[in-house]
Amino acid sequence: MSGYVETLLVLLMINIIAAYAAYLPLAVGQLNLSIAGFMAIGAYGSAWLAASYGLPLWASIPLGMTFAGLIGLAVAVPVLRTDGIYLSLATFALGEVITSAIINTPALGGAAGMPVTGYVGIIPIAITCAVLVAIMAYVNHSRAHVILTTVEKDPNVAAMFGVDVRWTKIACFSLGAALAGLSGALLGHHLNFIEAQRFSILASIYVVLYVLLGGTQTFIGPILGAAVFTLLPEALRASGEWRYVAFAALIIVVMVWRPNGLITRETILRKGA
Amino acid sequence: MLAQQLINGLSLGAVYALVAVAFTVSIGVLNFLNFSIPALFMISGMVSLGLMKSGFPWMLAVALGIATSIVASLVVERFTFKWMTKSGHLVPLVSSLAFLILFENLAIICFGSDLLPFPRLFGGGDGRLGGVVIGLPQILSLLIAVAAVALLAYVLKATALGRSVRAISESPQTATILGVQTGRIVLSVYALAGLLAGLAGILFAVNYAQVSWVMGEEVGLKGISAMILGGMGNIWGAVIGGLLIGLLEVLTIAYVSSDAVNLIVYGTLILVLVLKPTGLFGDRLAARERF
C-alpha cells in the first residue's frame, strides 16, 4: 500500500469515528458543533498522559476518550438546559473555548503545537473503526434505536412511554463526546503531532456535514458521508483549483435531490423488499 | 489610551453589529442560521476592490460590490429556503455552508489567496480629539451601521413590507392564509441579509485597508456571538451585542493578549447562554414559541 493510500484510508476511518460522534446527538435531534473541540481534548489528553506519565497507548487512548466523555457529561448537564438552536450555538462557543484554552496553555505547546509520542498504525485504527461500526449496526436494529428516534420525533410521546428524555439526550451527547475524543486521540498518535488550529469550528462543521449529507436515519449514513467528504476532494484533484467549487456545488445539488441525506431508512427498506 | 481603545472597539463592533443583524433577521424570520452570510460579507469587499482596480470610480465599485452580495444571497435562497418546506430543518444549514465553501473558493480563483490591500477611501481624514486619533472611516462605519439599523427598524415597524415580515416570523402558515405573499417576502429577507452583510464587508475593508477570501469567517463567528449575546430575533439587541463584543475584543487585545480573545469572547458567550439562554435582551416567551 502506498503512503498516500494508507494516509487517506486512516483519515477516512478517523473521520468515520468522528462522524458517529456527531451522529449520536443528531439521532436525538441535537446539533453538536463542538466535535472538533472534544477531538482536541482526546488528542491532547492522550498525548499528555503518554508523554508525562509514560502510559502505554492501550491505556492513554481510552483514558483520553474517557476524559473527553466526562467533560462532555459535565458540559451537557448545564448546556442541555438550552434547546434547539441555542444548544447548537452553545456548543459552537464551547468548541472555540476549548481550542483557545489549549492555545493559551504553554504546557500543551500553545499555538506552536505539540509532538506526540507513541505511534498507532493503520491496523489498530481499522480494528477500532470496524468494532464501532459493528456496535452501531447492532444499535441500529435494537430497541435503543426506537427510543432514540422517538425522543427525536416527539419527546412527549417518548416520556409518556417511560423514557427519561433528559438523560437520553445527556447520554447521547456525552457518548458522542467520548467518540470524538477517541478519534482525536487516534489522529494525534497517528500523525505524532497535534496543533489546536486543526480542531477549529470549521472542522466541527465538516463532521456534522458528513452525517447530514450521508443521512441521520441509519448507521450507514455517517460512513457514506465521511467517505464522500474524505475521498471526493481527492477524486476531484484533477480539476485543479476548481475542485472545492465542484465539491461544494455537488453538496448543494445532493441536498436538493436527497434532502434527508444520501441514505434514508426508506432506501434500505426498498432494497430489502 | 483607554479612550482610543473604546473608539477602536466601537468601530469594530459596528461591523459585527451589521453582520449580527443580518444573522438575526434570517433566524428571526426564517428560523434558519444562514452560514452563507460570511461569504456575502467577503464578496462585496473583494468585488469592489476588483472593480476599483479595473478603473471604476470608488462609489460605483462599492455599490456594485454590495449589489453582487445581494444577488449572491438571492442565489442562496433559490437553493436553500425554496426546498425547506419538504425537508428536514437542518438541510438549509448544510446548503448554506456549501455556499460558503463555494463562494470562498470562487474568490480564490478570481483574486488569489493572498491578503489584498484595500485603498483608503477617505485618506488623511484622521481627526484628533484630545490626543485620541479618530479615523473618518471609524466614525463613518459607526454612523452608517446605526443609520442602517434604524432604517431597518423603521421599515419593520411601520411599512407594509415590515408587517408582512413580522407576520411570517410569528407564523408562516397563518401569514399565508391571511394573504401574505410568503415567497416574495422571503426573497426580500435574503436580499436584506445580502445588503447588510455586503455593507459590513465594505466598512471592514475600508477600516482595516485589506480584504481576503477568508475575511468573512472570523467576523461571521463574532457576528453570530453578537446575535446570541443580544438575544436572537432582536435587531437592537444584535447591535448592542455587536458593540459589546467589539469592545471586549479590543480591550482584551490591549490589556490581556491577542491569543486570549477567543477564550474571553466565547467564554462570556457560554456564560450568557447557560445563565440566560435568550441573551441579554431576548424575550423568553417569544423565543420559546419561535424556536
What is the average pLDDT score of chain A? 90
Beta bridge partners of B132: B129
Query: How close B253 gets to chain A, by Cα (Å)?
Result: 14
Q: Distance between CA A41 and CA B279 in Å, rounded?
A: 28
Nearest to B263 among A83, A86, A101 (CB): A101
Please state, in angstroms and as integers, the Cα–Cα distance from residue A141 to each residue in A149, A234, B151, following that order: 12, 33, 56
Quick one: cell of B20?
Answer: 449580527
| Phi, psi dihedrals of residue B66, rounded to the nearest 5° | -65, -40
pLDDT of residue B284: 47
Q: Answer whether A255 touches B (CB < 8 Å).
A: yes
Q: Using CA atoms, how far apart are residues B174 and B190, in angstroms rounded to an integer?
A: 21
d(CA A213, CA B256): 41
More confident residue, B257 or A24: A24
Helix (H) or strand (E) holding A194: strand A193-194
Exposure string of A47-60, with b = 16+ CB inside 10 Å and e = fewer, is bbbbeeeebebeeb
**Sign of the C-alpha dihedral, residues B144, B146, B147, B148?**
positive
Residues A43-70 have a mean pLDDT of 94
- At residue A112, the 3 state secondary structure works out as helix
Across A68-77, average pLDDT: 92
Put simply, whether A96 touches B (Cβ < 8 Å) is yes
pLDDT greater than 60 at residue A272: no
**Under 8 Å between Cβ of B200 and B41:** yes
- Round to whole Å and give the CA distance between A77 and A267: 36
Separation of alpha carbons A234 and A239, rounded Å = 10
A248 touching chain B per CB within 8 A: yes
- Please give the average per-residue pLDDT across A32-58, as a whole number: 93
- In the stretch 224-263 of chain B, residues with CB closer than 8 A to chain A read 224-225, 228, 232, 257, 259-263
CB-CB contact of B155 with B144 (8 Å): no
Residue A246 half-sphere exposure toward CB, CA atoms < 13 A: 13
Amino acid at A90: A
Listing DSSP states for B143-159 in one string gives HHHHHHHHHHHHHHHHS
CB contact under 8 A, A79 and B277: no
A234-259 pLDDT, tens digit each: 888 877 778 888 888 988 888 888 88
pLDDT, tens digit, for every residue of A151-198? Answer: 988 889 999 988 999 999 999 999 999 999 999 999 999 999 999 989
pLDDT of residue B223: 94
B99 contacts on A by Cβ (under 8 Å): 248, 252
Q: What burial letters (b/e) apply to A104-123, b meaning 16+ CB within 10 Å? A: beeebbeeebbebebebeee
CA-based angle A62:A65:A68, to the nearest 5?
A: 155
Closest CA of chain B from A186, distance in Å: 26
Give how far A259 is from chain B: nearest CA, Å: 5
- CA-to-CA distance for A224 and A232, rounded, in angstroms? 11
Identity of the amino acid at B207: N
Between positions 52 and 111 of B, the ones with CB within 8 A of A are: 79, 83, 86-88, 90-91, 93-95, 97-99, 101-102, 105-106, 108-109
CB contact under 8 A, A97 and B86: no
Q: If contacts are CB pairs under 8 Å, which of residues 206-225 in chain B contact chain A? A: 217, 221, 224-225
Q: How far is CA B119 from CA A273, B8, B42, B46, B49, in A?
A: 65, 19, 16, 12, 8
Distances (CA, A) of B226 to A182, B8, B105, B220, B232: 33, 17, 27, 10, 9
Give the one of B94, B108, B224 whose C-beta lies nearest to A89's C-beta: B224
CB contact under 8 A, A202 and B217: yes
Tens digit of pLDDT per residue, chain B (291 long)? 788 888 889 989 999 999 999 999 888 888 778 899 999 999 999 999 999 999 999 899 999 999 999 999 999 988 887 655 555 667 788 888 889 999 999 999 999 888 899 887 766 566 666 667 777 778 888 899 899 999 999 998 889 988 888 888 888 788 888 888 888 888 999 999 999 999 999 999 988 888 999 899 889 999 999 998 888 878 888 999 999 999 999 999 999 888 889 899 999 988 888 888 777 876 644 443 343
Interface residue of A28, A30, A91, A92 to substitute, partner B, most B CBs within 10 Å? A92
Mutate which of A33, A89, A204, A239 to disrupt the B interface (most B C-beta within 10 Å)? A89
Instruction: Please judge whether B259 and A82 are an interchain contact, meaning their C-beta atoms are less than 8 angstroms apart.
Output: no
Residue B70: what are its φ and ψ, rounded to 5°? -65, -45
d(CA A13, CA A128): 9
Contact across the interface for B102 and A245, Cβ inside 8 Å:
yes
For residue B280, give the nearest of B242, B243, B231, B222 by alpha carbon: B231
Q: Which residues pair with B133 in a beta bridge?
A: B128
Q: Which of A26, A79, A86 to mutate to test the interface with B (most CBs of B within 10 A)?
A: A86
CA B213, CA A171: separation in Å to the nearest integer? 40
Three cell numbers, residue B2: 483607554
Percent of chain A with pLDDT over 70: 98
Q: Do B97 and A205 form a contact (C-beta atoms < 8 A)?
A: yes
Cβ proximity of B282 and B234 under 8 Å: yes
Contact A252 B97 (CB under 8 A): no
Cβ-Cβ contacts under 8 Å for A211 (sequence gap 6 or more) = A19, A22, A23, A26, A221, A222, A225, A261
**Is residue B223 a contact partner of residue B63, using CB atoms and an 8 Å limit?**
no
Query: How far apart are the C-alpha atoms of A118 and A189, rounded to whole Å?
Result: 6
Q: What is the pLDDT of residues A76-112, one digit of tens each?
A: 888 877 767 778 888 888 999 999 999 998 888 888 8
Residue of B nearest to A79 (CA): B274
- A235 to chain B, any CB pair closer than 8 A? The answer is no
Alpha-carbon gap: B221 to the closest alpha carbon of chain A (Å): 9
* pLDDT attached to residue B123: 60
- To probe the interface with B, which of A82, A153, A237, A255 has the most B CB atoms within 10 Å? A255
Rounded alpha-carbon distances, angstroms, from residue B186 to B82, B103, B161, B181, B220: 9, 22, 11, 9, 21
